[in-house]
Structure 1
């Protein structure tokens, strides 16, 4: 079956890991406490505060305790959906203020534009919230790239190392998994996608190989039409 859609990871794949760890995480760590204090009564933020209480098992945690929990989760890079949602809100303010610009590798920008022109549908699957994904691509150093994408998926579709997550995504896209190409820099994610029936390409931008998967160092080396 020919490839009809391309599903890509962000961190380490389209974008530098250092952008997340050296720019986004420190920004969230610095600005999240005051953001939560200032917006705690707003429905969207209040819902995430409740989710933090539930996930942490601290149902009676006050706002300051919730902030401490969130900062601990940032420090441990915990993939908590509530944390990702709140980080996305903080980052949105930073992007709007011009304090943040999303990093996307130039080879990824060029390839995504070329693939879109060739008729491939493009999707994103990242552990970061859908809001955060749209911000990285919408406020990128290369301009607004969101028109290239047909949809976004995050951990609400399931964890990235579980095959069922990729089955859900294929169903949401409306294609057999065999017609979806998944790109990532993490072998366990590639394994899970393959178990679901997707085709895979591994990105190893600094060299090396992702065992069991065709591995390249640049998007320029990927030709979906030839698969």
Structure 2
């Protein structure tokens, strides 16, 4: 099935959409999990803010140790809770891991060629993920198919846009990029994100990839199994 949409901007989810969720929940989570204690102890403004937010979010005492906070965050990771302070800390660790060559990213084979084609067709590409921008940029930069960051114009996460299941977040993105809602296309694999994008007046196409967590869901928008089934015109 081919789905055709007229849009000026494509906003891309990552997990389950451009990339396999299992890779992120496996390799990347495994890399960050044992390193949380160390990063929490750093003398850094971003880390200190994330530490305070993690304490508040997990209900720990204000004098909680780094080990206690790390254990609480690992519990959130076990159930894939989309925690902003956790994502901030993971982003720091992943960026360092990518730079050191200790971890790599992964993209479905159908994704990079379409991103290049859309970019060449002057369709603007934007990334919006629950993962922090600090993790999104190296994820695209270290793609096995080559650096994809030159194709992406802007980056959004739950800090500068808001939660992905909230329609207000999509209105924030539309205002930021200066594009009318009906000229924006969101690609995601999550049914609740599909609903939020539609509620904000966007075009939405659901990625229903076999083997991914939300495969076979009842999506409120047209669904495809590959980027090859998406045609976007301006």
Name the TM tier (shorter chain).
over 0.9
Q: State how far apart, in whole Å, the 2-side matches of 1:77 and 1:222 are.
A: 29
Correspondence for 1:92: 95
Pair 1:76-2:79 in alignment: yes
Q: What SS is found at the alignment partner of 1:106?
A: coil
Correspondence for 1:19: 23
Distance 1:209 1:35, change over 3 A: closer
Q: Deviations over 1:168-209 (max 9, x none)?
A: 111111101100000011111111101100001111111646
Q: Is the 8 A contact 1:181 1:201 kept in 2?
A: yes
Q: CA deviation at 1:144?
A: 1.1
Once the two structures are overlaid, the 10-residue window that deviates more, 206-215 or 193-202, is: 206-215
Correspondence for 1:188: 192
Q: Deviations over 1:127-174 (max 9, x none)?
A: 111111111101111121111011111112121111111111111111
Q: CA deviation at 1:59?
A: 1.9
Q: What SS is found at the alignment partner of 1:223?
A: strand
Q: How does 1:19-58 map to 2 (within 5 A)?
A: 19-37=23-41, 39=42, 41-57=43-59, 58=61
Once the two structures are overlaid, the 10-residue window that deviates more, 89-98 or 112-121, is: 89-98
Q: What SS is found at the alignment partner of 1:224?
A: strand
Correspondence for 1:153: 156
Q: State how far apart, in whole Å, the 2-side matches of 1:98 and 1:59 are.
A: 36
Correspondence for 1:216: 224
- Using the size of structure 2 for normalisation, the TM-score is 0.90
For structure 2, list consecutive stretches of 5 or more residues without a partner in the other structure. Answer: none
Correspondence for 1:60: 63
For structure 1, list consecutive stretches of 5 or more residues without a partner in the other structure. Answer: none
Q: State how far apart, in whole Å, the 1-side matches of 2:195 and 2:122 are.
A: 26
Q: What SS is found at the alignment partner of 1:155?
A: coil
Q: State how far apart, in whole Å, the 2-side matches of 1:48 and 1:104 are.
A: 28
Pair 1:115-2:118 in alignment: yes
Number of residue equivalences:
224
Q: CA deviation at 1:92?
A: 1.4
Q: CA deviation at 1:99?
A: 1.2
Q: What SS is found at the alignment partner of 2:153?
A: strand
Q: State how far apart, in whole Å, the 2-side matches of 1:83 and 1:198 are.
A: 29
Aligned-pair RMSD on alpha carbons?
1.7
Q: State how far apart, in whole Å, the 2-side matches of 1:209 and 1:21 are.
A: 20
Q: What SS is found at the alignment partner of 1:193?
A: helix
Once the two structures are overlaid, the 10-residue window that deviates more, 217-226 or 201-210, is: 201-210
Q: Is the 8 A contact 2:183 2:202 kept in 1?
A: yes
Q: Is the 8 A contact 1:127 1:155 kept in 2?
A: yes
